[in-house]
Amino acid sequence: MNREPLFPASSYARAIVFPCALLLLLVATGEHAFAQRAVQNSDNDYSKKIREYTTEPYFRTELVDHLPMSDKVPSPDKVLGYVVGTPNKLTYTKDLYRYYRELAKNSPRVRIFSAPERSEEGREQLLIAVGDEAALAKLDRYKEITSKLADPRHTNDDEAQKLIGEGKALYWLSGSIHSPETGSPEMLMELAYRLAVEESPFIQAIRKNVIVLITPVLEVDGRDRMVDIYNYRKANPNKNAPSLIYWGKYVAHDNNRDGLGMALALTRNMMATFLEYHPAILHDLHESVPFLYTSTGTGPYNAWLDPITIDEWQLLAYHEIEELTKRGVPGVWTHGFYDGWAPNYMFYVANGHNSIGRFYETFGNGGADTMDRTVTQQAQRDWFRPNPPHSRVKWSLRNNVNMQQSGVLLAMNFVANNKDRFLQNFYIKSKRSIAKATNEGPAAWVVPGDQSRLVEAADMVNLLRQMGVEVHKATKEISVKDQKFPAGSYVIRMDQPYSRMADMLLDTQYYNVNDPRPYDDTGWTLGALRNVKTARVTDKAVLNSSMSLLTADARVTGKLTGPTAAAGYVINHNAENTLATLRYRLKDVRIGAAEEAFKIGETQFNAGSFVIKADGNPADVRQRLETAVR
């Protein structure tokens, strides 16, 4: 067939000339050359306010120096009465939610869900999904795809490649787990609007390949208290104002260190949401150091993670640093903040589950005031901070909003342009977690059934189950090389998707004494923490033992044995925490405690055992005991 050459000589000549013209164009249009503008009007009043509230032009980028106009979808100021980042304005959760509900009502690109649990003070935690309208309409299909990639036991490589091609990367942002860090809930509203209405190629690319999930506020109780106190201080400048004692009802700053214990509703919500959506990335927004620290960490890194995860932290961080630095934004850096070792953080709902957990620290003023700030240590130039923050700066809430929003937009655009790569990595990490049993080992962990603290052992495996770890129960005695365990023992197999998290928490934590001091030193060897026996099993034969999967939480009940007409009852002291609960259940029963160990027949009872004499107790004491131990 006679075809014209793809590059005839004349057009080739033009191609050489063209880049120079393009270069001139880039210079002439300045910062706007980075992301192509939408053929769409901007909201001039809103955009003017953005410029007014930003203290220096280099604290905004072409991504956030304007707000696109929409005649259908309300921008935040239409609902709240003020522009995001207005000095002295912080938004309560009820108003954040009012805005998101208006957004979802008017845009098919926004959907709203409620997290499974309410907060300790009864507040709702929302989850917002933003994406292409066709993608949001098929959200269940995209959830199905990520869940299949998360468990390669049921997905072969050919199928996985098709799923990766069809799938979307889910990028999940979470705001203000730390209540004095006030900027992210404001920023996320504007981001959601921008993602829903802007028609620039940059934002369209995000909508095409990424579904953005937003948790507007993680610590909902603390957020509202923080806004209360901020407003009180503003209204009463001459009065002493209280400070926040805790952020939430029970916990202050360590609410982001609940990843191991899952004691807080916010952590359990995040874990449950992760297991429902399997987002490729969870990005938690914090505010402390100037101007934008993007997490990688100094190391030592957690040795149980797949090394790909560590690479992905660097990949995303350096993309943001390069792009923001190119735009002339000062003070964007990485490395020197935390280490990356301890798995206690909330964002281990991602890192511990084959996804990417990351965070920002941006510069916050602890409220919404514009103020002069002095930067000391972080103004130092270093290899990881060649373009350091300025030592003196006038800083505003809007600056903070601009930094966070520009950074996350760049990250989401990068993930959109590399969607298959991130989904592929997720699949590979999931596969390698299943291969752990036969690759690096161990083959399994066993929690033996013959141990004294059976309730605590059940509680421990239930915690693992809450983290998405599968737990089996031996239906027959397990006999492997040098080890025997009775039927009823719990088995945590290492050929499952979340083997790494389970192995990390059951193995002995390790810190090399030659490494610098860790950022957090958190005990995480669950067996030792709970005084529960655990056994590391390397013999792969354990995987062929007969066992059944727990489909509900493990539960231990007590029982009363011996003759009906008893002189008394003895409850052995086995150091279970539930002995205290039992005592309170039997508050009207007289109970003695043995001062020394003793034997009845062949049965040994420990010091501290409860002795309940029939004499001196209600006639129905046996019945009460039977009810209480159930």
Residues in touch with Zn ion (CB under 5 A): 178, 181, 286
Which residue spans within 45-146 are E strands per DSSP? 110-114, 126-130
Q: Which is nearer to Zn ion, 181 or 221 (CB)?
A: 181
Runs of H (alpha helix) within 341-382 = 348-351
Report in angstroms how near the CB of residue 361 gets to Zn ion at its nearest: 7
Instruction: Judge whether 33 and 25 are in contact, CB under 8 Å.
Output: yes
How many Cα atoms occupy the beta-carbon half-sphere of 173 within 13 Å? 28
Amino acid, res. 599: K
Complex with Zn ion: residue 286 or 472, whichever CB lies closer? 286
Q: Which is nearer to Zn ion, 178 or 385 (CB)?
A: 178
CB 324 within 8 A of CB 444: no
Smallest distance from the beta carbon of 93 to Zn ion, in angstroms?
18
Going by the DSSP 8-state scheme, the letter that residue 517 receives in this structure is: P
Alpha-helix residue ranges (DSSP H) falling in 107-217: 133-137, 139-150, 157-166, 183-197, 201-209
Virtual torsion, Cα 127, 130, 131, 135, nearest 10 deg: 40
Residue 373, SS3 per DSSP: strand
Longest dimension (CA), the chain: 111
Tell the smallest beta-carbon distance from residue 286 to Zn ion (Å): 3
Rg (CA), the chain: 29
Nearest to Zn ion of 255, 413 (CB atom): 255
**397-417 and 419-434 are packed helices; what angle lies between their axes, rounded to 10 degrees?**
80
Q: Strands of 421-496 (E only): list them.
A: 444-447, 472-474, 478-480, 483-485, 490-493
Q: How far is CA 270 from the centre of its chain?
A: 6
Distances (CA, A) of 289 to 286, 295, 332, 401, 426: 9, 12, 10, 14, 31
Residue number with CB closer to Zn ion (285 or 444): 285
Alpha-carbon distance of 358 to 316, in angstroms, equals 9
CA dihedral 538, 541, 546, 548 (to 10 degrees): 40
In the complex, the smallest distance separating the C-beta of residue 180 from Zn ion, rounded to whole angstroms, is 8
Q: Which is nearer to Zn ion, 172 or 360 (CB)?
A: 360
- Give least dist CB 177 to Zn ion, A: 6
| Minimum distance, C-beta of residue 453 to Zn ion, in the bound complex (Å) | 35
Q: How far is the CB of 125 from Zn ion (least distance, A)?
A: 17
CA–CA gap between residue 43 and residue 138 (Å, rounded): 31
Residue 286 or 432: which CB sits closer to Zn ion? 286
Q: How far is the CB of 269 from Zn ion (least distance, A)?
A: 18
Point out which residues pair with 114 in neighbouring strands. 126
Smallest gap from residue 176 Cβ to Zn ion (A): 8
Query: Judged by CB, which is closer to Zn ion: 109, or 286?
Result: 286
278 vs 286, which CB is nearer to Zn ion?
A: 286
**Amino acid at position 480, single letter:** V
- Judged by beta carbon, residue 336 or residue 497, the one nearer Zn ion is 336
CB of 396 to Zn ion, least distance (A): 19
Instruction: Kindly tell me the sign of the dihedral angle through the C-alpha atoms of 498, 351, 218, 81.
Output: negative
